[in-house]
Chains A and B, each alone.
Chain A
Amino acid sequence: MPTLNQLTVHAAADLLARRACSSVELVRDVLAAIERTDRQIGAYLTVDAESALAQARAADAARAAGDARPLLGIPLGIKDLLNVAGQPCTCGSRILQGYVAPYDATVIARLRAAGVVFLGRVNMDEFAMGGSTENSAYQVTHNPWNLDCVPGGSSGGSAAAVAADEALATLGSDTGGSIRQPAAFCGCVGLKPTYGRVSRYGLTAFASSLDQIGPLTKDVRDTALLLGAIAGRDALDSTSLDVPVPDFAAQLGGDLQGLRLGLPREYFIEGLDAKVERAVRAAAAQCRALGAELVEISLPHSRYAVAVYYIIATAEASANLARFDGVRYGLRVEGADPIDQYGRTRAAGFGQEVKRRIILGTYVLSSGYHDAYYLRAQKVRTLIRRDFAAAFQQCDAILTPVAPTAAYKFGEKLADPLQMYLGDMFTIPVNLAGICALSVPCGFTTAQLPVGLHIVGPALREDVILRVGHAYEQATPWHREKPKAAKNRA
């Protein structure tokens, strides 16, 4: 008999609906798991046990009074850059140490209205900049499958918490792969929704034209449920799209008959780990066995995506992070005059990766360089979008690896930022094109590290990629595997 913390969101919701367990029992099991294993994993920055239990009691009382909302009493962990009123929101940065969120992000307000219990804050690379969570100013997060390996990033705490059963599910954010890559590294499911599908209000901005919020979960059905709960037009985010939100979970099921899945020839390249490639090709074959037709496609400008991204994302970040000046919130280091105060505050408050990106972003926007870098990158971004538009004339969704390798050891890529950046080569094009993509577990390396299958869909066709992911998942055992590492070390 598994403990309640090991359940998926939908399995726990079924038990709650049948009164087979209470939200308080569910939250107690999750808190006990955090107590037991998070010393090794380090997924949580803060856990508010008292508040979580109070929220659970309120959910149980509501249910007793006849409330049957599907997510009532479900405990979730939240990435530390989404504002939850009254909780800390540090973004993994010293510059926001002690900051307490004055309001709820829209996704949080929606989940709160759905009766969700907020457990606490999960770790991340500072301001979501990184692919290993090693850039957190506060702590290291370990991969539950191998404690010597990174959990991926930037939503490393979100993925590790789900993999270690320290949350039923979590929210993360994805600017260039920050949900999908940690989901792949930790063997969970992660979704980057279409740009505009989910409101960004209350998400601390990194790169505003690329950021999206999405779920990290134990299976595809949970991702569909949570997407349905957070998606939709929001008057507080003018880039959120005014389009209907289908019942994603209700549409799951069936095989892949009639679907065409594209394999981009440019993505199976040198530098792609042989075991990752084998797992992804086997997953494609499995999809064919489920009725899909496989077609070779071409995304010729994808090879420029990392270069485009590190211009556009850093440019936007340098502007977004200008707000941290020690006046209205956050760290303040006194100086001789305002300029000196800003300089000292930002020198003390930001870590190395954030400084590197602010400098790069400021440089590509500076006088005389803007056209050569920023404008050119925006034009190549158009070419990347056109590649996908052409590809989706030939297929309904695209299959690729999530990352060129499985999780790697701590410190392995810290000294060489460019190598770290190239780890996002398969996920970045999706953000640049504004489309949606799902990461689903598709096997293991010989070192028992999870591998992720990347299912990419056209704008607003989350229903298609969830259908593919669900059919694949139900036909394979990977999502049911649990890591042993944390228990072995306990």
Chain B
Amino acid sequence: MTSPDNSASDRIDVRYVAHLARMHLADDEVARLQPQLEQIVGYVRQLDELDVEDIEPTAHAIPVQNVFRADEVRPGLGHDVVMANAPLARDGQFIVPKIIE
């Protein structure tokens, strides 16, 4: 995977990005998304016309820093409550596909 620079074209490798997002896409979905995404990315590239060299980025509009609470044990949801929505569980544990032979 080569690292593209800022002057890269708006061509998006939809299948590769879908892989990063852990989301399978059907061929017809890729065909539909491709031009839509490229149109949207073309639109957002209008931000390139602004000089933002010395501008601080905003991560949160209302800055709040160092929010602490007392380091003490507090009650949480019960184990059975947390497991109640699990699509597949056994002995109070989530079941996942085997990853080690």
* Residues of B contacting A331 in the complex (Cβ-Cβ under 8 angstroms): 87
Contact B22 A342 (CB under 8 A): yes
Residue B5 lies at the interface, judged by CB distance under 8 Å to chain A: yes
CB-defined contacts of B8 to chain A, threshold 8 Å: 368-369, 372
Contact of A366 among B20, B43, B61, B85 (CB under 8 A): B20
| Contact (Cβ within 8 A) B58 A378 | yes
Asked if A100 meets B85 with Cβ closer than 8 Å, knowing A356-B33, A381-B57, the reply is yes
Using CB atoms, name the residue of chain A closest to B20.
A362
For A329, what are the chain B residues with a Cβ–Cβ distance below 8 Å?
85-87
Interface string of B1-35 (1 = CB under 8 A from A): 10111101000101001111111111001001100
Bitwise, A351-382 to B at CB < 8 A (1) or not (0) is 01001101110110011110111011111111
Contact indicator A363/B47 (Cβ below 8 Å): no
B91: CB under 8 A from chain A? no
Chain A residues within 8 Å of chain B by Cβ, number: 76
Is the C-beta of A194 less than 8 angstroms from some C-beta in chain B? yes
Q: Is the CB of A304 within 8 A of B50?
A: yes
Q: In whole Å, how far is A41's beta carbon from the nearest beta carbon of chain B? A: 30
Q: Are A368 and B64 closer than 8 Å at their CB atoms?
A: no
Query: In the complex, which residues 55-91 of chain B have their Cβ closer than 8 Å to any Cβ of chain A?
Result: 55-62, 64, 67, 69, 77, 81-82, 84-88
Please determine whether B62 and A355 come into contact, CB atoms closer than 8 angstroms. Answer: no
Determine the residue in chain A with the shortest Cβ distance to B15.
Answer: A359
Q: Say how far A291's CB is from chain B's closest CB, in angstroms.
A: 31
Mask: chain A, 259-296; 1 = CB below 8 Å from B; 0 = not:
00000000000000000000000000000000000000
Expressed in whole angstroms, the minimum distance between the Cβ of A28 and any Cβ of chain B is: 32
Which B residues are CB-close (under 8 A) to A232? none
Residues of B within 8 A of A368 (CB): 3-5, 8
Q: Least Cβ distance of A101 to chain B in Å?
A: 9
| A contact residues around B82 at 8 Å (CB) | 102
Q: Is the CB of B97 within 8 A of A434?
A: no
Contacting pair B6 A372 (CB below 8 A): yes
Task: Give complex CA distance A377, B43 in Å.
Answer: 13
A373 and B77 contacting across the interface, CB-CB below 8 Å:
no
Give the docked Cα–Cα distance between A306 and B50 (Å): 15
| Inter-chain contact B52/A209, CB cutoff 8 Å | no
Given known pairs A103-B77, A362-B17, A380-B50, the reply for A347 and B26 (CB within 8 Å) is yes
Nearest A residue to B57 via CB reads A378
Which of the 9-residue segments A124-132, A166-174, A320-328 touches chain B?
Answer: A320-328
The verdict on A328 contacting B86 (CB below 8 Å), with A335-B97, A339-B22, A359-B14 known, is yes
Q: Is the interface of B mostly helix, strand, loop or mixed?
A: loop
Question: Using Cβ atoms and an 8 Å threshold, which residues of chain B touch A377?
Answer: 44, 47
Bound-state Cα–Cα, A418 to B87, Å = 36
Segment at the interface with B among A31-39, A114-122, A233-241: A233-241
Shortest CB-to-CB span from A333 to chain B, Å, is: 9
A 375-412 contacts with B by CB, 8 A: 375-383, 385
Q: Are A241's CB and B62's CB within 8 A?
A: yes
Contacting A195 at CB < 8 Å: which of B1, B37, B48, B60?
Answer: B60
Q: Which of A330, A346, A360, A371 contacts B22 (CB 8 A)?
A: A346
Residues of B within 8 A of A347 (CB): 23-26
Q: How far is the CA of A320 from the CA of B14 in the complex (A)?
A: 20
**Smallest CB separation, B33 vs chain A (Å):** 6
> Does A343 touch B at the CB level, under 8 Å?
yes
Q: Given known contacts A100-B84, A359-B17, is B57 in contact with A382 (CB within 8 Å)?
A: yes
- Chain A residue numbers with a CB within 8 Å of B20 are 362, 366
A310 to B41 CA separation, bound complex (whole angstroms): 9
Bound-complex Cα distance A241 to B32 (A): 42
A171 CA to B1 CA, complexed, in Å: 46
Report A's interface with B, CB cutoff 8 A. 99-100, 102-103, 194-196, 209, 235, 238-239, 241, 301, 304, 306-308, 310-311, 318, 322, 325-332, 334-344, 346-347, 350, 352, 355-356, 358-360, 362-363, 366-369, 371-373, 375-383, 385, 417-418, 421, 432-435, 459
6 A-B pairs with C-beta separation under 8 A:
A239-B60, A301-B50, A308-B47, A343-B24, A358-B21, A371-B6
Further pairs besides A334-B97, A381-B61: 12, Cβ < 8 Å: A195-B62, A239-B67, A310-B44, A329-B86, A338-B96, A347-B24, A347-B25, A355-B33, A376-B48, A417-B36, A432-B58, A434-B61
Ranked 7 nearest A-B pairs via Cβ: A434-B61, A378-B57, A332-B87, A329-B85, A379-B52, A343-B24, A238-B67
